[in-house]
A = this chain, B = another copy of it.
Amino acid sequence: MIKIVAENYIKEEYQEEFLKLTKELIILSREEKGNISYHLYQDINDDSHFTFIEEWQNQEAIDEHNQTKHFTTIVPQIKSFASKPSRAIKYKEVQ
């Protein structure tokens, strides 16, 4: 299992549009065979700070995800809403 923590900082004026797009991205991503879980969280202390926490079976599943139509169309739009660069870290479980 590979866990991805992907942080995004979204300008206030785009947050509504962002939440619409991420809803679609999440629904479609959860349908992918290699996906285990896919959730979006908002920083309690910073409304502009949204973080995806995703679980994938392996790197192959991530590579497939990154080539899907929903990823390649929605993620660039999300990046255009950013107030700061996004940050994605891939993790393996230790304990």
Binding site for B on A (CB under 8 A): 2-3, 5, 19, 22-23, 26, 39-45, 49-51, 53, 89-95
Are the CB atoms of B45 and A95 closer together than 8 Å?
no
Shortest Cβ-Cβ A-B pairs, 6 listed: A41-B91, A40-B95, A44-B90, A40-B94, A42-B94, A26-B95
Are the CB atoms of B51 and A5 closer together than 8 Å?
yes
CB distance from A7 to the nearest CB of B (A): 8
The answer for the CA separation of A94 and B94 in the assembled complex, in Å, is 27
Are the CB atoms of B19 and A49 closer together than 8 Å?
no
CB distance from A20 to the nearest CB of B (A): 10
Assembly of this chain: how many copies?
Answer: 2
Residues of B within 8 A of A94 (CB): 19, 40-42, 50
A-B contacts, 19 listed (Cβ < 8 Å): A2-B44, A3-B41, A3-B53, A5-B51, A5-B53, A19-B94, A19-B95, A39-B93, A40-B93, A40-B94, A40-B95, A41-B92, A41-B93, A42-B91, A43-B89, A43-B91, A49-B89, A50-B94, A51-B91
